[in-house]
A and B are shown apart, each in its own frame.
Chain A
Amino acid sequence: MSGSRFEALQSIDRRWIFLALAVAVIAALVVQPVFRDSPGELVVPIFAAIEALAPGTPVLISLDYSPSSAPELEPMAAALTRHCLIRGLPVTYLSLWPTGNHMAGRIVERVIGPEYPDAVEGREWVTLGFQAGGELLVHALLDSLGSRFAADVRGIPLIEIPALAQVTGLNDYGIVVSLSAGTPGLKEWVLYGGDVGAFPLAGGCTGVGAPQFFPYYPRQLLGLMAALKGAAEYEAALNDDYADRVPRVMQATRGMGPQTVAHLVIVAFILLGNAGLFIGERRKRGRR
């Protein structure tokens, strides 16, 4: 191989990389390889905490994301919803992001409607939706949900909603989980909610945000679902304990196949670039 070929290995046109990635992901989506995961160290505490709640204990899920991060976070919201509905824990959805009402609507349409047709809005779940204020919304809700939400998204006053019968403020929730794609999100829930209040706080986050939340675990965060893998691990925990009540292959587990193939393509390109660099430099040294 001539020196220029090694240089060529280091300067492949980006469009070839784009094409390789697209082909790999599409092929994996069509073939649909399924890799079973197992619940990891950071996900088990969240699953266990929800398992330990007495039926009827309210759970809050804060959908702090938009469609751009939904592929990572929506499977977490779906898995948590399934778990809560199976266990008889009324779920409250709210959001620090303006897209939150629609993200909650998607969970209702894609998970609750088809899989739990007997579940009733207001009894099994309630959507409070979005309110502006970000971290200061969390601060206000500590004391009282009513200070910011007069009614749910349908306009039903909070006092008439059975799912909120036991709830005044955040401290009345058995667990609060923020599914966060950025700011405001999980960090604000830790700073303005979990570290001040008396409720267990857990989180789910995108891969981009995951490394910054590790310092909060386990003292300030009960557990963390990090990226699609975190969601797949939660799905695995559900499959282990409730195989007959949840779909066999859920969204995140299905996504892990193409994800794996794409990672391998990227690793291959990284190794290719470094091989070119390594061999090229050795040749240069040899010539000297």
Chain B
Amino acid sequence: MIHPLAVSHDFGVWVGALLTLMVFSFLYRDNPFYKFAEHVFVGVSAAYWMVIGFWTTLWPRVIVPLIPEASRIVSSDTPLPERDLSAVVPAVLGLMMLSRLVPRLSGLARWPTAFVLGTTAGYAVVRYVRSDFMHQIQATIGDGVLIPAAGGGWNVAESLAALVTLSGTIFGLIYFMNTRRGGTVTTPAARIGLLVLMVTFGASFGSAVMARISLLVGRLQELLGDWLGLL
């Protein structure tokens, strides 16, 4: 039973609970309550990101380095930091990015885009090759497939696992190479690779189901506990 005294008296909890119910109403079908909640979410999220981005990053790393006097607005007792003109570069690139909003100037936005893509490419190449290519190959074949047991002889379970990992990885790669457009498998080895990938996708799906259920449990826990005081 819901005890009237156990129900939350906090206005914020009620707002959260009502918005939650509005979103859940979508399970029956789309309706104005859901649409209202969805549009609140869009507005609040966008503004939240802007505010957080501004105060955590833009303010200390662009505005204060360029205009040290600005730091007096948020703190009157700290010494003025030194001016750092290198912040001009991201400030200018950032303003060029915002030029997208003005159709006549939108071509300028290609420069910050090029910078972002160049930075991403430059950093990613080496890191992906190291961590997701070389380290993975090393981990797959590094110890071989015959794993010695502590007391002598071979550790059968570990060796079998190493063998399945090695062959599964190779068959998986063969699947990518021996598959025609449209998913037609061309060799028996590729078919085995497909089965390995099916295990991977099955495990991923099972794990994803678990994740989604956890979110529902968490949400209902807060609804029944914080709002109705049932838990």
Q: A residues near B, CB below 8 A? A: 15, 18, 21, 25-26, 29-30, 32, 68-72, 98-99, 101, 129-133, 135-136, 139, 148, 150, 155, 190-192, 195-196, 206-208, 210-212, 215, 219-220, 226-229, 254-255, 258-259, 262-263, 266
Contact = CB atoms under 8 A, between A and B. Distances in A.
7 contacts: A26-B224, A29-B221, A71-B215, A98-B52, A148-B61, A155-B74, A190-B131
Interface stretch (B97-105, B149-157, B175-183, B204-212): B204-212
Nearest to A190: B131
Per DSSP, are chain A's interface residues mostly helix, strand or loop, or mixed? helix
Interface in B123-146: 123, 127-128, 130-132, 135-136, 138-139
**The 7 residue pairs across chains A and B that have the minimum distance between CB atoms:** A71-B218, A207-B211, A207-B210, A191-B127, A132-B57, A207-B207, A228-B214
A228 B209 CA distance: 12
A32 B217 CA distance: 12
Interface in B16-66: 27-28, 48-49, 52-53, 56-57, 60-61
Given A191-B131, A195-B135, A228-B214, A30 B230 contact: yes
Given A98-B48, A219-B135, A135 B221 contact: no
B67 to A, nearest CB: 15
Contact of A129 (B56, B210, B219): B56
A143 to B, nearest CB: 14
B135 A220 contact: yes
B210 A135 contact: no
Contacts of B212: 207-208
Contacts of B220: 25-26, 29, 258
Contacts of B209: 207, 263, 266
Given A98-B49, A219-B135, A136 B119 contact: yes
Interface in B189-231: 200, 203-204, 207-221, 224, 230-231
A30 B56 contact: no
A33 to B, nearest CB: 13
A206 to B, nearest CB: 5
Contacts of A211: 200, 203-204, 207
Nearest to A188: B127
B231 A32 contact: yes
A139 B126 CA distance: 13
Contacts of A72: 211, 214-215, 218
A130 B214 contact: no
A139 B135 contact: no
B86 interface: no
Contacts of A139: 123
A135 B60 CA distance: 19
Contacts of A206: 211, 214
Given A130-B56, A191-B128, A258 B210 contact: no
B123 A30 contact: no
A212 B211 CA distance: 14
A208 B201 CA distance: 11
A155 B56 contact: no
B14 to A, nearest CB: 18
A91 B82 CA distance: 30
B227 to A, nearest CB: 13
A23 to B, nearest CB: 11
Contacts of B210: 207, 227-229, 259, 263
A130 B54 CA distance: 11
A262 B27 contact: no
